[in-house]
Amino acid sequence: MTPFGARLSEAMDTHGPLCAGIDPHAGLLQAWGLADDVDGLATFASRCVEAFAGTVACVKPQSAFFERFGSAGVAVLEKTLADLREAGTLAILDVKRGDIGSTMGGYAQAYLGESSPLRADAITVSPYLGYGSLRPALDLAAEQGRGVFVLALTSNPEGASVQHASRAGEGGKESVAGSVVAGVTADNVAAAAEGRLGSVGMVVGATIGSAVSDLGLDLAAANAPLLAPGVGAQGATAEDLRAVFGAALPAVLASSSRDVLSAGPDVAALRERARTVADGVRAMVAS
């Protein structure tokens, strides 16, 4: 199978560097005139798939908003992922799983295994039990031609207390975020040598300001796709993107949920809004 990074790079070139979110929280279901139940969830998700498939580089369902309905909600998520696969549109499942040993292996099989109905092209993972704890997911993703996006520098106010923290090591002080970047860089070495984008990405908020430079991180050297929440409703500008990502701008995949989904429930309006946002992000990245 073609590695995820190569497939994502092609999709970004074709459709623009936008990942459209599917976030069916109660308030948004209500805003779309849908009931806050499984039927409303199913309608919401199917309209998003119809609007986004073949329109954007990838789609990111937020698992929590499906899981809150129990097994029936997870069944809707399974169908959503299957519909995106059938349409040939990449899916990043936002699950932010992180654990150790066989438990992490179980999560990897659930979301990256070829036989799982919940399989996605890539998932988000949390490295805060140590980057090495992600190895079962990293290895299975590589084996299956899938990807992972590791939380590195998030834009929530509480994130900095963990991600910016540092410890003394053999080469001096290293921040927690720095250890994540180092791990991702190492896992993408082979892809870099082949001249293609790596399949191990990072989540880096578009509104984190000078954090990358303050911590002395080299995102460009990681050769990683950079999933960047904060473009759209959160107001990140082209200047913000340049300040955060610098030389790594070509690898930025902007994540937008609220901005795009505000155009619903009309499918045509959703599709048009997604295209407009994607064009805007492409211009921002190229500026």
What's the mean pLDDT in 61-82?
Answer: 98
Please state the rounded mean pLDDT for residues 77-84.
98
When divided into structural domains, the chain yields a total of 1
CA distance 5 to 152: 18
Q: How far apart are CA 278 and CA 273, in angstroms?
A: 8
Give the tens place of pLDDT for each residue, 107-156.
999 999 999 999 999 999 999 999 999 999 999 999 999 999 999 999 99
Confidence of residue 231 (pLDDT cuts 50, 70, 90): confident
Q: What percent of the chain has pLDDT over 70?
A: 98
Looking up residue 40, the CATH number of its domain turns out to be 3.20.20.70
Residue range(s) defining the domain that contains residue 38: 4-286
CB 141 within 8 A of CB 122: yes
Please provide the average confidence, as pLDDT, over all residues in the chain: 95
CA distances from 52 to 4, 26, 87, 93, 258 (A): 19, 21, 10, 15, 14
Q: Which residues are catalytic?
A: 96
Please give the Cα distance from 18 to 260 (Å, whole number). Answer: 10
Strand pairing of 58-61 and 18-22?
parallel
Q: How far apart are CA 193 and CA 2, in angstroms?
A: 16
Alpha carbons 197 and 248: distance in angstroms, whole number: 11
Q: What percentage of the chain exceeds 90 in pLDDT?
A: 91
Against a cut of 0.95, is the pTM above it?
A: yes
In the prediction, which pLDDT does 172 show? 74
Quick one: tokens of 38? 């499984």
Looking at this protein, which amino acid is placed at residue 236?
A
Per-residue confidence band for 238, with pLDDT thresholds at 50, 70 and 90: confident
Using pLDDT thresholds of 50, 70 and 90, give the confidence band for residue 232: low
Residue 283 in tokens = 């211009």
The pair of three-digit structure tokens given for residue 37, joined into one six-digit string: 């139940």
Strands 90-97 and 58-61, sheet pairing: parallel
How far apart (Å, rounded) are the C-alpha atoms in residues 140 and 147?
9
Closest of 141, 72, 159 to residue 104, by C-alpha: 141
